[in-house]
Amino acid sequence: MTETYFPEGNETLTLDQFVERLEASGIVPDLRASRYTPEAMSRVAEWMAALARDPDVLRGLLVDGLADFLNYQVDNDFKPSTLMLHKGDGYSLRAVLWMPPSPQHPPEIFSYYETHDHSFDFFTVGAFGPGYRTQLYDYEYENVRGVPGELVPLRFQEETGLPPGKVMYYYGSRDIHTQLPAPSISASINLLLPKTYPAHRRQYEMTLEETPEGVFGKLIAGNVDRQAQERALFETAAAMGDTDLHEALRDIARHHDAPQVRALAWQSLLPNSKHLAEDVGLVRDDGDPHVRAALSQWV
């Protein structure tokens, strides 16, 4: 389950000081590899709180944006409410703005009410305003096949908030949360730690289902825009019938790290395959339960 910290003291760190201290500590590689020590995590939590105490971190980000608005955050691939602070070796820092829902600020922009996990670990600290509230659950990633509609058992942990100075640590592919709207404009700072072990894990989005047997997350198709783009690309390549295109698609279906991408490639290729029996055999050789479940009509 998530870790919670309430660091004491009045130390303030600038962004440059935070980066220097974090990189000198050598902690990032350990956290990315799932080597956790309470002392090291507490130190980073203290630094996160000290960073959030520096008003110039958010102020500088906004001043820079307003001064050069046309070129502001043009390389930022996150949601519109997310602003990049710093990208380091194996980690990144971002600020996230949380607005109360309104016609100008639809909930989906801020992922409100969307139950989901992450494939990476991250620290988060309240930096401005009252902060959002969040409902926290955890689950067993290894027991999930990853098929849309699958019911995943969840364990409720707590509902809590993220006021200024509070720090939380989320474990990738373990912690699940549902963000609830901030009552007024708020901001948080996140330290993202993509995993090196275990790596290449899938992120899940789900809807909550309460039953007499307990609380479940019903899996839905996540990353809809990216998935639609991949599906269009794969299906077009398969439909054209070109041998080179089929070989390239087959290579993705056999060797891509993400099982959902392998399954999508096979789903596009099999209806157009000129070597169906051989390709079905290759599907059977894929030991991932998500691939086997997604291609069940063929195998």
- Helix or strand or coil: residue 295? coil
Asked whether residue 164 falls in the same domain as residue 105, the answer is: yes
Torsion sign, CA atoms 195, 120, 136, 169: positive
What is the 8-class DSSP label of residue 237?
H
Whether 225 has a pLDDT exceeding 50, the answer reads: no
**Residues 101-125: what's their mean pLDDT?**
91
* Last residue of one domain, picked from the residues 170, 185, 220: 220
Q: Give the mean model confidence (pLDDT) for residues 76-89.
A: 76
Same domain, 260 and 185: no
Same domain, 229 and 206: no
Same domain, 187 and 46: yes
How many percent of the chain have pLDDT more than 90?
Answer: 51
Residues 211 and 243 in one domain: no
Mean per-residue pLDDT over the chain, rounded = 88
Same domain, 32 and 86: yes
CA distance 190 to 85: 9
The pLDDT of residue 222: 57
Specify if 149 maps to a domain.
Answer: yes
* pLDDT score recorded for residue 221: 67
Give the confidence band of 141 by pLDDT, cuts at 50, 70, 90: very high
Give me the number of domains the chain comprises: 2
Asked, for residue 299, whether it belongs to a domain, the answer is no
Shared domain for 173 and 59, answered yes or no, is: yes
Residue 159 belongs to a domain:
yes
Mean pLDDT is lowest, of 41-55, 123-137, 215-229, 263-277, for 215-229
Q: Do residues 214 and 232 both lie within one domain? A: no
Q: Is the pLDDT of residue 1 over 90?
A: no
pLDDT value at residue 70: 52
Q: What is the pLDDT of residue 69?
A: 46
From 220, 248, 274, give the residue that closes a domain: 220
**Of 220, 239, 272, which marks where a domain is finished?**
220
- The secondary element (H helix, E strand) that includes residue 52 is helix 38-52
pLDDT interval class at 105 (50, 70, 90): confident
Mean pLDDT of 144-170: 94
Residue 236 structural domain: 224-294
Q: Same domain for 193 and 78?
A: yes
Q: In this structure, are 153 and 245 located in the same domain?
A: no
Q: Are both 210 and 234 inside the same structural domain? A: no
- Amino acid identity of residue 95, one-letter, is A
Output 67 or 178, whichever has higher pLDDT: 178
Establish if 244 belongs to a structural domain: yes
SS3 of the chain: helix, strand, coil, percent, to 5: 40, 25, 35
What gap in Å lies between CA 283 and CA 299, rounded to an integer? 7
